Amino acid sequence: MKKITLIYFLLFVAFLKAQHIDAPDRIILNLTEQPSSSIAVTWHTNESHDNSFVELAEATKWIEFKDSAIKTPAQMNELNYKGNLSYTYSAVLNDLKPNTLYVYRVGYDSVTSEWNQFRTASDTDQPFRFVYFGDPQNGIREDLARVFRKALMTAPEASFWLFAGDLTDLPDESMWKEWFDATGFIHRIVPSIMAIGNHDLYFEMADGKKKKTDKYPLWQSLFTLPENGPEGLEESVYYVDYQGVRFIVLNTNYRLKDQAEWLENILSDNPNKWTVVTYHHPVYSTGEGRDNKDIRETFMPIFDKFNVDLVLQGHDHTYARTYKIYNGKISDDESKGTVYVTSVSGPKQYPANPMYKDLIAKLGTFTQLFQVIDIQGDRLIYNSYTVTGELYDHFELKK
Ligand SMILES: [Fe+2]
């Protein structure tokens, strides 16, 4: 009897082994510097696969696109992060047609993901919409999944999603696993750009305390973001031009002066009608004992000088949207000024301490939010929604 049990057990183990497939997961699209002609794809597997690839074709109404699909080899990145060995793969797909629907899948050998679709940006200033999220950070699987799903249902045709940092509370494997569980298939079909927050940085333990570093290896392995920023800040400081809008992503954790110099350069040569900047630490903090004076003094004069329209921030775990601000005051000139928003998508929220209450048009907290922003020629239309679907804040900017 014992012998038979053992045989059954061994057969069962052999069956499980035969069934094991190291399927690609954590598949994510990122915008590149040229979203009308290229896109970046990144994914992960548990074991290493040298011959990994992305397969791409123009979408068709049936499955005949498969006959014309072209394989692009992926670059493998082996990362040993605090004892966790992980393998990620990335490829930038170039020479794409503007405003065109493509299908792609990723894989190795005969193991592939499902086919997914995305649309490239137009090469003209066509109207579009994007979604902006403040800090997710905590309870990602438990409390963020419904925010992401409601955002997708509210703006299913959004061109991309934008995150203002602190995507996870700690840069570790288990949290990123939660992240990709919570976002589900969304990252596979809606491209993203993200700013790096303080919690996204690698840390070291010193004297029993966490000490933040200026490194972000997991971020760089999980995403493939533009590398057109200052040297050493690749994939955390960059810009993307999308249908008449220059999106600039800053890293407010360190090296502010280097970024200010770079920012002046790219703003002095900006052919786009609109300019949107995103970064993590807000210039007008709403949290008690928080004040980012360096960031305010370094960047706000540049935003004023080059008429930045909208600044999207996080970090304070509250909601605050200013009036149009110019030179630190509410602008009385319709053509000048910048609107600064702080928002939060995650469950961790703080009381709103109205340190700058005179500048703030809408202040709130203990509400999980996402923002849908439309660019329509001379109009920028901003709507903030609660996770339960109610309109929470609204304004428009006109050129
Ligand atoms: Fe933060």
Distance CA 95, CA 85 (A): 33
List pLDDT tens digits, range 108-120.
999 999 999 999 9
List pLDDT tens digits, range 326-377.
999 999 888 899 999 999 999 999 999 878 999 999 999 999 999 999 999 9
Cα 164 to middle of ligand 1, angstroms:
9
For residues 264-268, give the mean pLDDT. 98
Cα 296 to middle of ligand 1, angstroms:
16
- Look at residue 260 and give its three-state secondary structure: helix
Cα 253 to middle of ligand 1, angstroms:
9
**Residue that wins the pLDDT comparison between 12 and 161:** 161
Q: How far is CA 325 from CA 295, 330, 336, 395, in A?
A: 15, 5, 8, 14
Residue 73 has pLDDT above 60, yes or no: yes
Dump the DSSP string for 102-124.
Answer: EEEEEEETTEE---EEEEPPPSS
Distance CA 328, CA 304 (A): 9
Tokens, residue 261: 């110099």
Assess contact for 226 and 235: CB atoms under 8 A: yes
CA nearest to 284, candidates 313, 307, 260: 313
What single letter denotes the amino acid at residue 49? H
Cα 134 to middle of ligand 1, angstroms:
10
Spell out the domain ranges in the chain. 25-119, 132-185+197-398
Cα 167 to middle of ligand 1, angstroms:
9
- Say yes or no: domain 132-185+197-398 is CATH 3.60.21.10: yes
Q: What is the CATH number of domain 25-119?
A: 2.60.40.380
- Tell me what pLDDT residue 257 has: 97
Average model confidence (pLDDT) across the chain: 94
Cα 165 to middle of ligand 1, angstroms:
7
Confidence class for position 17, pLDDT limits 50, 70, 90: low
Residue 1 has pLDDT above 60, yes or no: no
In CATH terms, are 25-119 and 132-185+197-398 the same topology? no
List pLDDT tens digits, range 134-145.
999 999 999 999
Cα 192 to middle of ligand 1, angstroms:
19
Cα 399 to middle of ligand 1, angstroms:
32
C-beta neighbour count of 14 within 10 angstroms: 10
Confidence class for position 6, pLDDT limits 50, 70, 90: confident
Cα 196 to middle of ligand 1, angstroms:
9
List pLDDT tens digits, range 21-67.
999 999 999 999 999 999 999 999 999 999 999 999 999 999 999 99
Cα 304 to middle of ligand 1, angstroms:
25
Cα 282 to middle of ligand 1, angstroms:
10
Cα 85 to middle of ligand 1, angstroms:
27
Residue 286 has pLDDT above 80, yes or no: yes
Residue for token pair 């137009």: 122
Confidence class for position 16, pLDDT limits 50, 70, 90: low
Do β-strands 111-112 and 116-119 pair in parallel, antiparallel, or remain unpaired? unpaired
Cα 168 to middle of ligand 1, angstroms:
10
Distance CA 210, CA 208 (A): 7
